[in-house]
Structure 1
């Protein structure tokens, strides 16, 4: 019984120490922030994230960084952030950025948009992504592109542009076009690529594949290469 009380007491003391230690160490110069490591920043400049931390000159790794996390989370293009520490003086900032899915005209330039057709503040020239161009920020087009990327990487990489034709979606893959319904599932997109690869193996070229109709993929403009 006495041993149980000793174990319980040790757990309580450890818990109290865990709570109190940050309060004590915040005043110890040894634990001042000396280095900041940022991970996950593919599009945003690291300096933008570091500036958003708004750290004081005497910031300590045991400080409460709730406000700093809120500042970074408020940056356009940031979906999530987590701030951790490595003793004695390193802050680890992990960010999750919104993923660009396409380029869209805006005035006299192109801007990056995500799967919801929201404009992103990332500089296309800096990040240089090879992405399809959409006529305008259209959530139907970007949703189709998002499914295409998840369905088949080769399919998505070959798409140079996406557009609407009334209620349908047309994807331009350079040598051929793909017609889809806005709600086309990934399984259908994979089947389209299976057909395209099979035709290529047979030495056939074509102008269009049409997957708008249930259970079939129509090949148009087919001829021997």
Structure 2
């Protein structure tokens, strides 16, 4: 058979596939208006089998583990119930919430809200990583180039919640906190926090590479942000500072070296 004779048959075959896909998608749009029976009617069609899984929002969790939890393969219809898939993925210790949506004809898209690390602390087995709720996370601190979160002495849920708010509301300041700890006040009660904060300028611009910031344990992120304009002024004046005290209402006290 000549090349010219073969070409029409190829065009007919390709057009047939396109026509079938168009019919299948049109059928999907039609039957979905009847949710009671529509998905069941389409689930037997090979055209609507799962061929691809997309993950969005994954940074710390293992993508392979999340896909494995879905328990889907190329024989699974895209019209399978989504709630069980979401529940399985949300059962992963790194996942706070999972949402699964369909992208016709054969893709499942998984939106993952991860539990975000906010601190790490010494533990029997090495280093434990915690989220803002105080939950230990299965994250290896040395993975992905290292985990850039503050070091805390113990699992202090009040401190961890504050670090979580700081990470959300003042991420630049959070990124500069290398250590955070609870400390005793003048009366002996451990109702204060101390933060070791790295300098935003070259070493020596305001006394060294780090400064200790003291605050009450009920300090807000907004109050901690008062540190920034004080830093700007100290850098401009090139004042050498050992400590910045935010414990007193409406005052910021800089203790010089």
TM-score, structure 1 normalization: 0.86
Cα separation, partners in 2 of 1:194 and 1:148, compared to 1, 3 Å: farther
Q: How does 1:173-184 map to 2 (within 5 A)?
A: 173-174=197-198, 175-184=210-219
Residues in 2 aligned to 1:81 and 1:108: alpha-carbon distance in whole angstroms: 30
Match of 1:210 among 245, 248, 252: 245
Moved over 6 A (4+): none
Q: Cα offset for 1:14?
A: 7.1
Task: Give the number of the structure with larger relative contact order, counting CA–CA contacts within 8 Å between residues 6 or more apart.
Answer: 1
Residues in 1 aligned to 2:41 and 2:49: alpha-carbon distance in whole angstroms: 13
What count of residue pairs does the alignment treat as equivalent?
210
> 1:77 touches 1:97 (CA, 8 Å); kept in 2?
yes
> 2:31 touches 2:38 (CA, 8 Å); kept in 1?
no
Verify: 1:157 aligned to 2:175, yes or no.
yes
> 1:150 touches 1:186 (CA, 8 Å); kept in 2?
no
Alpha-carbon RMSD across the aligned residues, in angstroms, is 1.8
Residues in 2 aligned to 1:100 and 1:69: alpha-carbon distance in whole angstroms: 22
Q: How does 1:1-225 map to 2 (within 5 A)?
A: 16-127=33-144, 128-165=146-183, 166-174=190-198, 175-222=210-257
Contiguous gaps of at least 5 residues in structure 1:
1-12
The residue that corresponds to 1:3 in the other structure is none
Residues in 1 aligned to 2:32 and 2:49: alpha-carbon distance in whole angstroms: 24
Q: Cα offset for 1:129?
A: 2.4
The SS at the match of 1:140 is helix
TM-score, structure 2 normalization: 0.76
Residues in 2 aligned to 1:16 and 1:148: alpha-carbon distance in whole angstroms: 46
Contiguous gaps of at least 5 residues in structure 2:
1-29, 184-189, 199-209
CA distances 1:10-64 after superposition (whole Å, capped 9, x unpaired): xxx8775344221111000111111111111110011010000112551010111
> 1:103 touches 1:110 (CA, 8 Å); kept in 2?
yes
Q: Cα offset for 1:220?
A: 0.9
The residue that corresponds to 2:5 in the other structure is none
> 1:169 touches 1:182 (CA, 8 Å); kept in 2?
yes
Residues in 1 aligned to 2:33 and 2:106: alpha-carbon distance in whole angstroms: 23
Q: Cα offset for 1:94?
A: 1.0
